Every structure is written in C-alpha cells, then in structure tokens.
Amino acid sequence: MARQPVIASRAEQLLDAAVIATAPVAGGDICSAVKLRLSNGRTAFLKSLTQAPPGFFAAEAAGLRWLAEVEGGAATPDVLGVDSDCLILGWVESGRPGADAANDFGRALARTHAAGASTYGAPDDGFIGRLPLRNRPLDTWAEFYAERRIAPYLKVARDRGLVADADAETIEKAVARVADLVPDEPPARLHGDLWNGNVLWGQDGRVYVVDPAAYGGHREVDLAMLALFGLPQLSQVLAAYQEIAPLADGWEERVALHQLFPLLVHACLFGGQYGARAARLAARYL
C-alpha cells in the first residue's frame, strides 16, 4: 500500500489516527473506495462521492448505527467518521461463505427484524443506490409499499421509457392486492437494500451487512432481496431465521411480490430488462 496524500489528509480530518497507507478498492458502482491503514493498528474503509446529494453519507451512517443497536443482531462495520463527501468504516476482511456463518447470520437477521420500528417508514428520507428513498410514514404496509416503494420508481421508469405502459399497469394491479396477500405484522427493522452485494462474509466467521437503506417495513422485503440475486447459503440462512422468528404461512409465494421494488429500482438505475422482469413477476398475482 502506498499513501495518497489528498485522501489520507481527508481521512485524518475525521479520525483520531494518522493514515499510514492507502490503496484503491474496486467494485463500487457509485462511490470511490479506498482501504486505509491507520497508525493505531486498525484498517478502515473510506468511500467518497464528489458532489454527493445532501445527507447521502449521513443517511447511510444513521442506518448502520440503527441496525447496530440490536443486541445479537446482524453485524455492521463500525462507523469511524462521516461527512458530506465521505464515510469511513471499520474494514471487514473477506472470507468464504460457510454453513456455520450462514446459520449465525439467519438468526442474527431475525433478531434485527424483531427489534422492530416505530412505524412503516422512517423519520427522514434516505437513498437507495443514488436514488432518493421516500420514508414518510404511512399507517399500513400495503399503503407504504404502494406509495413509497413502488409508485416513485415506477413513475421514473415509465417516464424514461424503461417500463412499457402495459407492464406498468400489470405492476400497479399486483401491488393493489398487497393488503389481501400480505399478512399484517408490526414494522420490522429493515436493512432495506439487502441484496447479495451488501452482505459481506468476514474472515472472522461473521456476516456483515453494509450500504443500508434502513426503515421500518415488512420483513419479507429483506428476505425477498436476499433471494433476488442469489445469496450463497441462502437455504441455511432462511432455516436459521425461522428458528428465531417463523415466517407467516405462504411467505414463499409472496417473495416475487416484494421483489418488484428492487427490480424497479434497478430499472431506474441500469435500464435493461428489469422493468419487464418486474411485470412478469407481478402477473403471478393477477
């Protein structure tokens, strides 16, 4: 590792330690990422974004701290520093997915969800990827899912020609059935963007969650996201989850319904066939 003076200096403004060395980290779609070696012996991770939207990194830091409040819940990296242009976290050394870690993660995620939230939503709006995430609370999950999680992204995708009108109508009809299809549950404490890329299998045997879009919502959303792009050891995770917090009957049939949200987000961010894929899933519920 060499030392990039500009990055090191920026990090040192937020840390109680000198930066000895830095190294770029590949893989981020939105932010630049750098590994930091600190004078206190710790290793840290700095992510930055030029002209980040106001509150972008503060929202992520707040989500990580909220998730970390849960004793025995899903592990998160330590928040070491945050400002308008960057976030510094404790470094997670990558390991391999294993059955024991998967079991522990399933139980931990169940505890996080069970810790709950005061409402469907959150006190402040946030971000999912680089898109705004509306969190103003609503009384029921059906209302919140339709108005805060589907409608904003369906409108953007439709306006940009990323979702055909007929497909958009199919999605709207399916979402209108959420109140009938999804059992009532108290708001869970959600990660909110829990796809495979935001799950880190640590070398220490723990599984960490990163990049949250946290809010109070239905726990099946997090589980649907885990299934969307293929989490390693998913069957182990789900079996262990159910030991702590059994899911309501028929949850497997509702997975696709709760995948409509992340698919529409992906349609807005990346285009491609995500909108059409969402419509094919939505058609199952008509």
Angle at CA of residue 52, ends 46 and 56, nearest 5°:
75
β-pairing, 86-90 vs 79-83, is antiparallel
The single residue of 16, 100, 184, 193 carrying the catalytic annotation is 193
| Cβ within 8 Å of residue 252, ≥6 positions away | none
Our answer to whether residue 85 is catalytic in this structure is no
| Among 85, 77, 90, residue whose Cα is nearest residue 15 | 90
Cα separation, 33 vs 86, in Å, equals: 10
Query: Which amino acid does the sequence have at 129?
Result: G
Residue where the block lists tokens 């069970």? 114
Cα separation, 231 vs 236, in Å, equals: 10
Cα separation, 67 vs 209, in Å, equals: 9
Cα separation, 60 vs 76, in Å, equals: 12
| Among 231, 214, 243, residue whose Cα is nearest residue 102 | 231
Handedness of CA 267, 273, 278, 283 (dihedral sign): positive
Catalytic positions, written as ranges: 193
